[in-house]
Structure 1
Amino acid sequence: MSEAPPHTLLRPAIALPFLLVALIWGSTWFVITTQIAAVPPAWSVTWRFVLATPAMFALALAMRKKLAMPGRAHRLAVLMGLFQFCGNYMFVYWSELHLTSGIVALLIGMMLVPNAILGRILLEQAITARFLIGSVIALAGIGLLLLNEAHTAPLGGNVALGALLALTAMLSASIANVIQAGPAGKDVPLVSLLAWSMLYGVLFDAAIAFALFGAPEVPGDPAYWLGTAWLALVGSVVTFPLYYDLVRKLGAGRAAYNGVLVIVVAMAVSTVLEGYHWSALAIGGGALAMVGLLVALRGRQVKACS
């Protein structure tokens, strides 16, 4: 192991996928809002990964990666499917019934906090004082944004419930991020691990959707399926291999800078397409959140594989 070079993010091989993932994920938050009106959110999540799963297996085959994995890798894939491709997305979709997509993206961006805590517990990664200070600043900004949301509530939803659902989604994704960084995940091809994780995840998704809402609901609107295809093929199959590769090359701390750009893109999209109102309270909260996130990220001790 060696210290990551200070200007790693400026290399095109790193910067281009870094920016691409941020732009794509920043746009997906709004697209999700078009998926939760036609059918129950649980079925929309299911349809997303019904499309994404075979595409990820096809990508693994196209890259000539072995699909066979040892038992411990499959056990990891089951957990990743449960936490990343089921729990995370189920709670994200449900949260967008109550909050604007930009706010949900911002709450998910706070994944730095549970990542640091779980990384300390499970991977023995240090938590710096600078990271703690940045997290406090960012949480204060989140509080101001949610206070503004409670005053305006443009979706007419339950702001407290939406925030709770988004935070649960964040925690679920954080668990998946941390557990995939262990030896079981590094011993197998990344795209193969993701393919099996998506397969297990979509099985969980379908079971939950059927249990809660009964027989599958299949929309007939072509626009719905265009949105689903974007979320599945571009927002999942393209981005997850790129993002997890960045995590392996940069370390979780530097890769998490991506979340800051995702928030900026998502809030901009929400402003244009959802009419998000930037009051003085919201501007102050957004500024605090960005400052806190940047301070926290700069405080991470980053290691890269030599």
Structure 2
Amino acid sequence: MTGGTLAPQSTRVAILVPFAIVTLIWGSTWLVIRDQLGTVPPSWSVSYRFLVAGIAMTIYAAARGESLRLPPRGWLFAAAIGLSQFCLNFNFVYRAEAHITSGLVAVVFALLLVPNAVLAWLFLGQRMGRQLVVGSLIAMAGVALLFLHEARSGARGPHETLVGIGITLLATLSASAANVLQATGTAKRYPMMPTLALAMLMGAAMDAVVALLLTGTPVMEWRIGYVAGIVYLGLFGSAIAFPLYFGVLRVIGPAKAAYASVIVPVIAMLLSTLFEGYRWSLLAAAGGVLTAIGLVIALRARRPPR
């Protein structure tokens, strides 16, 4: 500790490497989610995704010798994560992409930084230092430029755009609640892998209930692309990415961890350039550069004392 501040743990290799892996994986998932829409109702696709993820996490926890036997409070905590992160969040995300482009959903979701910082301050007492605030403002200016570009290029009209943005904001709030829960002392009382396995399995069950109520009996599409997408989203986008992300979050806090969602739109657009013929405008390029600059400034910020 020097000068009343704590060293920025977010610049350590042990944090930067998983952070980079998570952003790369989640930057690619938006394209895959887009392909999931169509024949199968969104809630069933989400349920299949987290069923695959939950099974994978269970096998991994068992291989590590970790049991899924948690005390009642542990089950309640896992259920809260399952509801907020793996049910509400993703049901909103998948439905939002039916109204607006995946790029615009990714851009709006970058606003996760704001509720994460506010909720971490309210419930965890984590203050935002001056450098983190400056980095956040620069990054959000970049996100605003990306948003403006995507909104201008949207061809579905203002009503559909507003509906999609509203649904994405609900997803953001749900994800933020789960993020802050993972940063609490309660989360650290239980082993992460078994807790996440249970949360994903319970989330998949909740998604199935939602699907039954909204769309009826299960629907499956046996197209190779769809099945491969479920496997990719379940294994890479969930079973690998979430443990890495929550591990980082527990060290650097929800505000800084939310920068994964800030840089993800840039990665999503880079991948879209390669696979969808996405064309960068001056606005989009400027937004991408500002976002990257803000990310570097914020991640190098020292944590102020409480």
TM-score with structure 1 setting the length: 0.87
What SS class does the counterpart of residue 110 from structure 1 fall into? helix
Q: Is 1:76–1:180's contact at 8 Å kept on the other side of the alignment?
A: no
The offset of 1:99, in angstroms, is 2.9
Q: Residues 212-271 of structure 1: CA distance to partner in whole angstroms, max 9, x if unpaired?
A: 111111112122101100000111111111221222234434444444443332121122
Q: Is 1:148–1:281's contact at 8 Å kept on the other side of the alignment?
A: yes
The offset of 1:124, in angstroms, is 1.2
2:153 alignment partner AA: T
Matches for 1:31-180 after TM superposition, within 5 Å: 31-153=32-154, 158-180=160-182
Match of 2:283 among 263, 274, 281: 281
After TM superposition, the structure 1 stretch with the greater mean CA deviation from structure 2, 263-272 or 294-303, is: 294-303
What SS class does the counterpart of residue 126 from structure 1 fall into? coil
The offset of 1:135, in angstroms, is 4.0
The offset of 1:65, in angstroms, is 1.2
After TM superposition, the structure 1 stretch with the greater mean CA deviation from structure 2, 79-88 or 154-163, is: 154-163
1:169 alignment partner AA: A
In 1, Cα distance between equivalents of 2:301 and 2:6? 14
Q: Is 2:256–2:298's contact at 8 Å kept on the other side of the alignment?
A: no
What SS class does the counterpart of residue 127 from structure 1 fall into? coil
What SS class does the counterpart of residue 34 from structure 1 fall into? helix
Distance 1:14 1:287, change over 3 A: closer
In 1, Cα distance between equivalents of 2:276 and 2:95? 17
1:222 corresponds in structure 2 to: 224
After TM superposition, the structure 1 stretch with the greater mean CA deviation from structure 2, 218-227 or 253-262, is: 253-262
What SS class does the counterpart of residue 37 from structure 1 fall into? coil
1:241 alignment partner AA: P
Matches for 1:194-205 after TM superposition, within 5 Å: 194-205=196-207
Distance 1:15 1:144, change over 3 A: closer
How many equivalent pairs are there? 302
Match of 1:192 among 194, 203, 215: 194
- Structure 2 unpaired stretches of 5+: none
Distance 1:152 1:259, change over 3 A: closer
1:192 alignment partner AA: P
In 2, Cα distance between equivalents of 1:77 and 1:116? 22
Q: Is 1:100–1:155's contact at 8 Å kept on the other side of the alignment?
A: no
In 2, Cα distance between equivalents of 1:196 and 1:118? 25
After TM superposition, the structure 1 stretch with the greater mean CA deviation from structure 2, 44-53 or 187-196, is: 44-53
TM-score with structure 2 setting the length: 0.87
Q: Residues 75-98 of structure 1: CA distance to partner in whole angstroms, max 9, x if unpaired?
A: 111111111001111111112223
Query: RMSD of the TM alignment (CA)?
Result: 2.7
The offset of 1:153, in angstroms, is 1.1
- Structure 1 unpaired stretches of 5+: none
In 1, Cα distance between equivalents of 2:272 and 2:147? 15
In 2, Cα distance between equivalents of 1:300 and 1:105? 28
What SS class does the counterpart of residue 113 from structure 1 fall into? helix
List structure 1 segments (4+ residues) > 6 angstroms apart after TM superposition: none
Distance 1:24 1:150, change over 3 A: closer
